[in-house]
Chains A and B, each alone.
Chain A
Amino acid sequence: MYEIRFHGRGGQGGKMAAEAYALAAFLEGNYAVSFPFFGAERRGAPVKAFTRVDDKKIRIKTQVYEPDYVVVLDETLIETQDVLEGLKKDGTVIINTQRKPEEVRLSKPVKCATVDATGIALEVLGRPITNTAILGALARATGRVKIESVEQAIMEKFGARLGRESGEKNARAARMAYEQTLVGTSQGGKEFVPRPQWLPDVHEMPIGGAIGTMKTEAGLIGIGSFVENKTGDWRTFIPAIDKEKCIGCRFCWFYCPEGCISMVEGKAEVNYDYCKGCGICAHECPAKAIEMTREVKA
């Protein structure tokens, strides 16, 4: 049996990727199961999904804690969490990034495959949905399933839901990724400090759980404490405001879902710590002073 863990963000299709991979393995005569793990996450929040493949019936139903392969659909995730956690000794990590495997820094050096799945998805699908492209990279890096099976699984899974044409496009994205995947070894040595949690004992717990604003070891909690939750790494596209063109109308300031645009000396300014890159500001700007471009992540 081998196990795969997918790390993605809600809406990127990690769950569909896990399912489509299971179907590809099944088409080759294996037993396969897949399931997602999520709580109340919105689109953009980190989520996980799992696939297990075996040549006999699979009885184990738990999450995957010691994967053979780890798939990362969004490279910003490798900055904030140790995606290698529990990875088996000879395991492989497959990452959606524009970087080469040797340029990726993780907690330890491991076999690493990289592909610009976002670039491929934008080119083939016109949308930054990377779940099908990454499957091509997974097939290439592991050699566990044939790319033809992956294509067939995508056609069946996505074709049934989104129509034949869309199924074919997604299969093409997987094939392109298969051909462009680079396999090598990552750098190691990156340290991760787990985010401390606020865990009060029974005496510290306020009555009814009601809290005002409180400074704790886990940071700010209570009223207004979400300001410490930086959502900027959710985005794929980034707005740039042309100060010359900005007429100070405040439309973007009014409409921004994050409330992360402020007016400085009569001109709009974005706080990128929070901007999720939705593009409403650019679409609503009457002066066409805002441009959205794909963000190049360092």
Chain B
Amino acid sequence: MNIKDLSDEILFTPGHTACAGCGAPPIVRNIMKIFGKDTIIYTPANCLLVFGGTYPYLAWKVPYFHEAFENTGACISGVARALRKQGKKTLVVGIAGDGGTYDIGIQALSGAAERNEDVIYICYDNEAYMNTGIQRSGSTPYGAATTTTPAGTKIPGKLDHKKDMAEIMRAHEVPYVATMSIAHQRDFLEKAKKARDVEGFRYLHIISPCPTGWRFDPSLTIEMSRKAVDSGMWTLFEAEYGEITNIYKPKKKIPVKEYLMGQGRFRHFTPEMVEELQRWVDHKWKRIYGEEP
């Protein structure tokens, strides 16, 4: 599948109030072109909730609900079961940020996955609580400066590494898990299509660079997605019932330093910190790709 095969119909309209250069709107607009009109969207608290609608105004052109932060998994489970009981095949999609997935929503998400509910859960990952003003989440990478992990003279940003949420979801052995990047168009569209067509629990995890929180020029959002993949900070794979079935390997691996440069949240990095993050990336690389980087 190619971007030329996508329809012109827009189900997430312009006029939304995301920051200029936000990574999330192109993700949801294009994914909705694949999912189509017969879709119901649930979102907990996140940026997308706020910029996608301020009651009574709304950018979505499909049924849309706002639920509490911690229960995306539970809400989509209930709605999907009610619809299936009525014999309807409507896609039920929950879209949460990394805070609503890694931290606050993980119990309801894990439960829904365990029960293999017939839903799609999307985590758009901008690596911090951007909606409330850039607080660290379980997804924030090592060393990144956020308002709750500021880079000071004693503590240089976040001390812990990013949690591997996609691997946690893979361990649930659900029908479909995929990690995605909008910069990899064909891969992105194929995975969205597959998620639409598979039955049972599907988990999509998409990197969503944030010019405001990561502090880079808004024109570089797509470039950041691309560099995240090329450096190994972000890995693209598909898994079915717990088995990895497809891996995208960058043609040329770039040093993690090239990804860090140009992002204000890593500006304070010392050579030792770069090395620590590179070590983490190389370890992950070996685990996913099964070879030395």
Contacts and interface: CB of A to CB of B under 8 A. Distances in A.
Contacts, number: 134
B20 A224 contact: no
A135 B47 CA distance: 31
B58 A224 contact: yes
Contacts of A262: 8
Nearest to B221: A280
Contact of B21 (A222, A228, A230, A280): A280
B148 interface: no
A273 B182 CA distance: 25
Contact of A283 (B16, B25, B131, B220): B220
Interface in A272-298: 273-274, 276-280, 282-284, 292
B185 interface: yes
Contacts of B185: 254
Contacts of B62: 223
A228 B47 CA distance: 20
Chain B contact-residue range equals 35 or more
Interface in A65-83: none
B64 A235 contact: no
B50 A259 contact: no
Nearest to A225: B57
B218 A274 contact: no
B15 A274 contact: yes
Interface stretch (A40-48, A95-103, A114-122): A40-48
Interface in B15-41: 15-26, 29-30
Contacts of B14: 226-227, 231, 258-260, 271, 273-274
Contacts of B10: 259
A292 B20 CA distance: 14
B25 A224 contact: no
Contact of B212 (A43, A224, A277): A43
Interface in A142-165: none
Chain A contact-residue range equals 35 or more
A250 B19 contact: no
B182 to A, nearest CB: 7
Q: Which of A198, A223, A251 counts the most B-chain CB atoms under 10 A from its CB? A: A223
A234 interface: yes
A234 B17 CA distance: 10
Interface in B46-65: 47, 50-64
A255 interface: yes
Contact of A45 (B6, B17, B56): B17
A263 interface: yes
B216 to A, nearest CB: 11
Contacts of B63: 223
Given A42-B50, A42-B51, A284-B222, A228 B15 contact: yes
Interface in B95-134: 131
B17 A278 contact: no
A230 B182 CA distance: 25
A211 interface: yes
24 contacts: A11-B19, A42-B51, A42-B212, A43-B20, A43-B212, A45-B17, A209-B55, A211-B56, A222-B58, A226-B16, A226-B59, A227-B14, A251-B3, A254-B3, A257-B25, A258-B25, A259-B13, A259-B14, A274-B15, A276-B21, A278-B21, A280-B221, A283-B219, A283-B223
Interface of A: 10-11, 40-45, 198, 209, 211, 221-231, 234-235, 250-251, 253-260, 262-263, 271, 273-274, 276-280, 282-284, 292
